[in-house]
Amino acid sequence: MTDRTSVDLLQGTLAALILKALSWGPLHGYGIARWIEHATADELLVEEGSLYPALHRLEARGLITSEWTRSDTNRRVRSYTLTAEGRAQLKAELSRWDRFSAAVTRAFDTRKARTT
């Protein structure tokens, strides 16, 4: 194991990250993994495989769709696209995250201890 700080990745957060990754355009699973790796400086995705159950669940919920395409090496590649519903869901997640993180930040910024 690496000595990196591991962060517990909540299911919901992973889903939100996938939706965010796909908001730039269709990607296959590996592409999404790479995007998350870059975007979070390799902090979040500890077990890359866990991406796939999350992807398939999102598809079952209709937030993303998939289709099989051919890669440049002529391999079958499953490529995911955000649906309109998925886009709406992403928006909702983002605003919720903003409120949540603002609240948490505010709480952590209060240096003086409260007594009640």
Partner 1 sequence: MTRKPPERRPWRDVESDVDDELSFHLEMRARDARERGLDDETARREAERRFGNIDRISREVRAIDSQVVLGQRRRSMWSDLQQDVAYAVRGLRRTPGFAVVALLTLAIGIGANTAIFSVIDAALLRPLPFADSPRVVFLWNRTPEGLPTPLGPGRMMDFRAQAMSFSGFAGISHLSYTLTGAGDPETIPGASVSSTFFDVLGVKPLLGDTFHGGRADPNAVVLGYGLWARRFGADPTIVGKAITLNRRARTVVAVMPQQFFWPFITATPNADGGPDLFVPGGPGDIPRTAIDEDRDVRDNRNAGYIRVVARLRPGVTRHQANAEVQGVGARLSREHPEDGGRTAMLVGAREQFFGTIERPLFVLAGAVVFVLAVACANVASLLLARGAARRRDLALRRALGATRLRVARQLLTEALVLSLAGAAAGALFAWWATGALLRLAPGDVTALGVTLNWRVLLYTMSVALLAGIAFGLAPALQCSRGDLTAALSEESGRTSGSRRSGRLRDWLVACQIAVAVLLVAGASLLVRSFVSLTRVDTGIDTHNLLTFAIHLTGRKAEYQSEQVRFYAALQDRLAALPGVEAAGSAVTLPIGGDDFGTDYLVEGKPTPEPGHEANGGYQVVMPGYFAAMGIPIREGRDVSASDAHNGLPVALINETLARQQWPGQSALGRRLRISVNEPWLTIVGVVADIRHLGPAVPPRPEIYQPASQRSFPFMAFVVRTTGDPDAMVPSIRHAVAELDPTLAIAEVKTMDDHIAHALARPKFVSTLVTGFGALALMLAVIGIYGVMAWSVAQQRREIAIRMALGAERSSVLALVLRKAGWLATGGIAAGLILMPLATHPLRAMLFGVTTADPVSIGIAAASLALVTVLAAFVPAARAARVHPASLVRS
- Which of 16, 27, 29, 35 binds partner 1 (CB under 8 A)? It is 29
Given the rule CB under 8 A, which of 3-11, 12-20, 54-62, 99-107 is the region that contacts partner 1?
A: 54-62
Strand 64-70 to 27-28 pairing: unpaired
Task: Examine residue 59 and tell whether it contacts partner 1 (CB under 8 A).
Answer: yes
Angle among Cα 4, 6, 8 to the nearest 5 degrees reads 170
DSSP E strands: which ranges in 1-116? Answer: 27-28, 64-70, 76-82
CB closer to partner 1, 19 vs 27: 27
Question: Any idea which residue has 């869901």 for tokens?
Answer: 89
Task: Examine residue 48 and tell whether it contacts partner 1 (CB under 8 A).
Answer: yes
Q: What whole-number distance in Å separates Cα of residue 58 and Cα of residue 19? A: 9
What is the contact surface with partner 1 in residues (CB under 8 A)? Answer: 28-30, 33, 46-50, 52-53, 56-57, 59-60, 67-69, 71, 75-78
